[in-house]
């Protein structure tokens, strides 16, 4: 098989699997195995895409959710990574707060949204900050894990070449930790996006989350699922961007 | 109570040895474990002459790698000292280039960028360092692989990248800790040839830590034999085999004699180490 054929193999298999599942679901709904008032037929969801794009102002809503997600993503990176580095450098601080940060990662922070509403008002800031708070803990923990797990021999290579602490960090520790830091960023972004869309839904403000709320209340099930598909698209775009950034920062994998 | 085997602080003045570029003088290394103080290296002394290839050999657990770290400046000895051209080592020394036992290439850098790394940290401009690195890559036999990443190379090639990276820093002394330990026997012999060829071309002073007798005899001008724990100097064997030398030397009669002689020194030590390890395993059951 040609190299291009090998490269495209997984993507084609993935697409074929998805199409196969849709066909099976369509058949199951049409023969009455699945109630069409709970799950609409995929064909109706697909045909509703055009309708919700034109009638529900999807481009503007999509952009708003994507920008709120991006804002939360940028914040979890510029705050989470330095905090992870700080915990790596300061043993006492690490011993004192690591378990608290782990607890924060597992906490259902979305329940604190009324507090954020009081602080930031019913605005995009509430949504961005909720996403940030929900996603920052995994980034801190994974940054710490990546730096701590750097192979001793790589650090010794740096020491043998008399690198300054800054060079050791920039040229050895950080590149070695990049894959683990990106695991944290992926996790953080998942948490952030869930909270962004969830809060748009809850406070009925802004992008795709609000649209899902409205369509669900109108009992427009095909439209609701089509809107959910756009949320998935936001997630796919973010993950593709993260993957490219990781490959750029950490080649050779 | 004072221990008569430990040279007291302040350390003694460096011993003047005009023929010696690297001197290990009465080095003692002790570690505090949970249960006891363990002496890893005990009053080890020897010198390395300019341009010489010297190997340190000993049974597993005799403190060879500890000695490597002391000479490289990564571990401070409990007593004694190491000097480079009379200058005491107090941390990693620019005259010493280290090649580690474990695979140590940077996986995120290409072969060329790995080799150029020491020049990059010194601030050498990219064009100059790449030119120099290309020469070193050719020297270690990796021409054509400059833009490959370590994940695309075999274990032997990766170890050659590590050696190249160390050579690019132009060290006076090349210090290697069992760099071929994870490789198969044939690759070891061929890589030994490559190292010997580089060493003979550059007249590079080289200190190799190894547990392989054949490797030590194949490559060295002298072999330092260590005892089992605590690691002490047992004997220094002069290897009087002709130069330039290749792996074909392993078929000669003289080679066999040297191997037998060193094995004679090591056998009792290795047996003692094995018996102690088995006793420890029995004790923990």
Give the mean pLDDT per block of 10 residues along chain B (285 residues).
41 56 93 87 92 92 91 93 91 92 94 96 94 91 93 91 91 90 78 82 90 90 90 90 81 90 86 75 59
- Quick one: CA dihedral B108, B110, B114, B120, positive or negative? negative
- Residue A101 is predicted with a pLDDT of 92
Q: What is the pLDDT of residue B194?
A: 81
Q: A140 and A30 in one domain?
A: no
Average pLDDT, chain A: 91
Based on the fold, state whether residues A121 and A210 are members of the same structural domain: yes
**Domain co-membership, A10 together with A130:** no
**The Cα angle at residue B251 between residues B247 and B256, in degrees rounded to 5:** 110
Does B102 contact A250 at a Cβ distance shorter than 8 Å? Answer: no
What was the pLDDT predicted at A4?
55
Over residues A185-196, the mean pLDDT reads 93
* Nearest-by-Cβ selection for A157 from B91, B96, B104: B104
Chain B residue numbers with beta carbons less than 8 Å from the beta carbon of A157 are 98, 100, 104, 106, 165
| Separation CA A88–CA A84 (nearest Å) | 6
Retrieve residue B30's tokens: 């002790």
Flag if A156 and B108 touch (Cβ within 8 Å): no
For range A148-158, the mean pLDDT? 95
Chain segment B53-103, per-residue pLDDT in tens:
999 999 888 889 999 999 999 999 999 999 998 899 989 999 999 999 999
- Whether the ipTM is more than 0.95: the answer is no
Do residue A160 and residue B106 have CB atoms under 8 angstroms apart?
Answer: no
Q: What is the pLDDT of residues A2-22, one digit of tens each?
A: 555 567 888 899 999 999 999
Is any Cβ of chain B less than 8 angstroms from the Cβ of A162?
yes
CB pair distance less than 8 Å for B118 and A178:
no
Count of C-beta atoms within a 10 Å radius of residue B275: 11
How large is the greatest C-alpha to C-alpha distance in chain B, in angstroms? 62
- pLDDT for residue B10: 44
**Are the C-beta atoms of residues B145 and B111 closer than 8 Å to each other?**
yes
From chain B, pick out residues whose CB is under 8 angstroms from the CB of A250.
Answer: 108
Mutate to test the interface with A, among B74, B121, B129 (most CBs of A within 10 A): B121
Q: What is the tally of structural domains in chain A?
A: 2
Chain B positions touching A167 (Cβ under 8 A) are 121
Chain A and chain B share a number of CB contacts under 8 A equal to: 58
Whichever domain contains A171, its CATH number is 1.10.3720.10
Task: Indicate the residue of A151, A161, A252 with minimum beta-carbon distance to B121.
Answer: A161
Mutation for A interface: B72, B74, B107, most A CBs within 10 A: B107
Rounded to an integer, what distance in angstroms lies between the CA atom of residue B172 and that of residue B51?
Answer: 9
A67 and A34 co-located in one domain: no
- pLDDT tens by residue, A56-65: 889 999 999 9
The pLDDT value recorded for residue B5 is 40
Rounded-to-integer distance, Cα A111 and Cα A71, Å = 21
Tokens 């098989």 correspond to: A1
Please give the residue of chain A at the shortest CA–CA distance from B148: A252
Closest to A180 measured CA to CA, from A202, A228, A148, A205: A148
To test the contact with chain B by mutation, choose from A154, A161, A171 the residue with the greatest count of B C-beta atoms within 10 A, namely A161
Q: Tens digits of per-residue pLDDT, A72-107?
A: 999 999 999 999 999 999 999 999 999 999 998 888
Which residue range(s) make up the domain with A11? 1-39
Quick check: B100 and A157 CB within 8 A? yes
Report pLDDT digits (tens) over B213-229: 988 998 899 999 998 88
> Which residues from chain A sit within 8 angstroms of residue B173, using beta carbons?
none
Same domain, A31 and A114: no
Per-residue HEC secondary structure of A148-204 comes to HCCCHHHHHHHHHCCCCHHHHHHHHHHHHHHHHHHHHHHHHHHHHHHHHHHHHHHHC
CA angle A110, A114, A116 (to 5 degrees): 80
Between CA B208 and CA A2 the distance in angstroms is 46
With a pLDDT cut of 90, the percent of chain A lying above it is: 71
A226 with A169, same domain: the answer is: yes
Say if residue A6 is in the same domain as residue A72.
no
Inspect the interface and report whether the beta carbons of B102 and A151 lie closer than 8 Å: yes
Provide the pLDDT for residue B229: 81
Same domain, A25 and A66: no
Q: Rounded to whole angstroms, how far apart are CA atoms B19 and B12? A: 20
Residues in chain A: 253
The structural domains of chain B, with segments of one domain joined by +, span 96-170
């Amino acid at each position: 098989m040609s190299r291009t054929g090998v490269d495209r193999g997984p993507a084609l298999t993935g697409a074929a699997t998805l199409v196969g599942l849709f066909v099976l679901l369509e058949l199951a709904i049409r023969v009455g195995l699945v109630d069409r008032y709970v799950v609409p037929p995929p064909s109706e969801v697909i045909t509703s895409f055009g309708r919700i794009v034109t009638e529900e102002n999807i481009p503007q809503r999509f952009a708003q959710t994507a920008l709120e997600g991006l804002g939360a993503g940028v914040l979890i990176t510029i705050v989470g990574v330095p905090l992870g580095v700080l915990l790596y450098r300061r043993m006492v601080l690490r011993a004192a707060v690591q378990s608290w940060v782990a607890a924060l990662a597992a906490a259902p922070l979305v329940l604190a949204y009324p507090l954020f509403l009081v602080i930031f008002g019913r605005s995009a800031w509430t949504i961005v900050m909720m996403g940030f708070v929900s996603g920052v803990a995994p980034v801190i923990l994974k940054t710490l894990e990546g730096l701590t797990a750097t192979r001793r021999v790589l650090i010794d290579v740096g020491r043998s070449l008399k690198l300054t602490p800054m060079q050791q960090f920039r040229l050895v520790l950080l590149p070695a930790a990049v894959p683990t830091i990106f695991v944290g960023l992926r996790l953080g972004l998942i948490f952030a996006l869930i909270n962004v869309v969830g809060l748009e839904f809850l406070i009925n403000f802004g992008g795709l989350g609000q649209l899902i709320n409205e369509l669900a209340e109108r009992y427009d099930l095909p439209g609701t699922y089509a809107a959910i598909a756009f949320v998935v698209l936001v997630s796919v775009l973010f993950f593709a961007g993260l993957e490219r950034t990781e490959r750029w920062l950490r080649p050779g994998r | 109570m004072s221990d008569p085997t430990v040279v007291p602080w302040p350390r003694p003045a460096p011993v003047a040895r005009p023929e010696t570029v690297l001197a290990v003088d009465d080095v003692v290394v002790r570690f505090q474990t949970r249960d006891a103080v363990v002496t890893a290296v005990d009053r080890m002394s020897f010198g390395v002459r300019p341009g010489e290839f010297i190997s340190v050999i000993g049974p597993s657990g005799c403190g060879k790698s500890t000695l490597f770290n002391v000479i490289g400046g990564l571990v401070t000895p409990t007593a004694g000292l190491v000097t480079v051209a009379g200058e005491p080592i107090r941390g990693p020394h620019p005259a010493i280039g280290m090649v580690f036992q474990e695979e140590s290439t940077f996986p995120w850098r290409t072969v060329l960028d790995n080799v150029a790394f020491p020049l990059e940290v010194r601030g050498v401009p990219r064009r100059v360092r790449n030119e120099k690195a290309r020469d070193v890559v050719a020297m270690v036999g990796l021409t054509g692989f400059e833009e490959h990443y370590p994940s695309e190379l075999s274990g032997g090639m990766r170890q050659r990248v590590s050696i190249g990276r160390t050579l690019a820093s132009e060290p006076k002394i090349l210090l290697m800790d069992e760099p071929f330990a994870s490789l198969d026997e044939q690759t070891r012999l061929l890589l030994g040839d490559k190292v010997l060829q580089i060493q003979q071309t550059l007249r590079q002073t080289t200190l190799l830590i190894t547990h392989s007798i054949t490797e030590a005899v194949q490559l060295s001008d002298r072999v330092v034999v260590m005892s089992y724990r605590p690691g002490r100097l047992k004997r220094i064997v002069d290897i009087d085999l002709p130069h330039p030398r290749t792996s074909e030397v392993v078929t000669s009669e003289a080679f066999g004699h040297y191997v037998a002689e060193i094995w004679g020194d090591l056998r009792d030590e290795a047996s003692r180490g094995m018996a102690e390890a088995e006793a420890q395993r029995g004790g923990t059951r």
